[in-house]
Chain A
Amino acid sequence: METTTSTTKGYRPMEYASEEGRLKIFGFWIFLGAEIVLFSTLFATYFVLVNQTAGGPSGKELFEIKIFAMETFLLLTSSFTCGLAVLAMRKQSKRGYFGWMGVTLLLGLGFLILEIEEFAMLVEMNAGPTRSAFLSAFFTLVGTHGIHVTLGIAWVTGVMIQVWKRGFTPVTSRKIFMTGLYWHFLDVVWIFLFSTIYLLGVA
């Protein structure tokens, strides 16, 4: 593809400029591969236990289409704005980077707030993680994703502070690119969550 030839033929964005940068980005891809496997075990547990409701409520009674549709839209859009932030970094536009990354963080926070409200509502309805095997698996899977989003927000904020202080260097550019990869990956996991947990749950 176009992109590969242009990187091998001399031109490289700053995050790929040093060998260290290239290796760390590749290392991050390996980490994401391990994350895929981590989430697959939680998905497997959920699918095995999905019908074990112990006389309690099932997904059909609990999941609210409005809430998870909103969550999906927020996270999907944040993945897009995060991509624009990385693009702004490549164009050396600080304003663009801080603007789009700021929007990404706000959308991520909005997603988290919706998820926390949903969890609180479920616990209030006596449908917390201790209610049934189905709900234990649900809270573990969706909660693990939620923790990843929380960590992502903290990491992105930290990198933003570094960029504020040091500007775009090969090191900060690499970090920006890696936070971008991580954030897109969170949306990848959510795609499978909203499809196979929520949509399949209410259908």
Chain B
Amino acid sequence: MEQHHSAKPHIVGYLFSLILTVLAFYVMLYTSMPMSWKITILLVLAVLQLLVQLFYFMHILEGDGAYQVINVVFGIFVAVTIVAGSIWIMLYNTMLE
């Protein structure tokens, strides 16, 4: 009962999101790390923000929790395959040029 009616997870989630967003802006705009580091950190921060939304705001574990998680994980799997696969194929598609 407590979990369903408490604003605490929302406030904690909002604080986490704000911190992660500010970090992303800071790393990309005000540091002079190599680009590959920046991109890695940026992706890690984005994935953390995704988890904050799913768990703190969207309550993914409520209801049919396990099936919802499987469904979202499968969606992400297809998404990563499409994005990474497309970039990989087009990057090494030098024979046409």
A, B assembled together: yes
User: Contact residues of A with B, CB < 8 Å?
Assistant: 1-4, 6-7, 11, 13, 16, 22, 25-26, 29-30, 32-37, 39-41, 43-45, 47-48, 65, 69, 72-73, 76-77, 79-80, 82-84, 87, 90-91, 180-181, 184-185, 187-188, 191-192, 194-196, 199-200, 202-203
Is A3 a contact partner of B59 (Cβ separation < 8 A)?
yes
Residues on A with C-beta less than 8 A from B90 are 48
Contact pattern, B 1-34, Cβ under 8 Å of A = 1, otherwise 0: 1011111001001100110010011001100000
- What residues of chain B have their CB less than 8 Å away from a CB belonging to chain A? 1, 3-7, 10, 13-14, 17-18, 21, 24-25, 28-29, 35, 38-39, 42-43, 45-46, 49-50, 53-54, 56-65, 67-68, 71-72, 74-76, 78-80, 82-83, 85-87, 90
Smallest Cβ distance from B95 to chain A, in angstroms? 16
Closest A residue, CB atoms, query B91: A48
CB-defined A-B contacts under 8 Å, sample of 29: A1-B61, A1-B65, A3-B3, A3-B62, A4-B65, A6-B3, A13-B62, A22-B63, A26-B67, A29-B64, A29-B67, A30-B71, A33-B74, A33-B75, A36-B72, A39-B79, A40-B79, A40-B82, A44-B82, A44-B87, A48-B86, A48-B90, A80-B14, A84-B10, A87-B7, A90-B4, A184-B58, A195-B46, A199-B24
Which B residue's beta carbon lies closest to that of A80? B14
Q: In the complex, what's the smallest C-beta–C-beta distance from A189 to chain B, in angstroms?
A: 10
- Is the pair B79, A203 in contact by a Cβ cutoff of 8 Å? no
CB of A26 within 8 A of CB of B63, answer: yes
Residues of B near A25 (CB, < 8 A) are 63
> Judging by beta carbons under 8 Å apart, are B71 and A29 in contact?
yes
Which residue on A lies nearest to B93, using beta carbons? A48
- B82 and A191 contact, CB distance less than 8 A: no
In angstroms, how far is the closest chain B Cβ from the Cβ of A148?
Answer: 15
Closest-CB distance, A82 to chain B (whole angstroms): 8
CB distance from A48 to the nearest CB of B (A): 5
Contact pick for B63, options A16, A76, A188, A202, CB 8 Å = A16
Q: In the complex the two chains form, what is the Cα distance from A80 to B10 in whole Å?
A: 7
A80–B58 CA distance with the chains assembled, in angstroms = 10
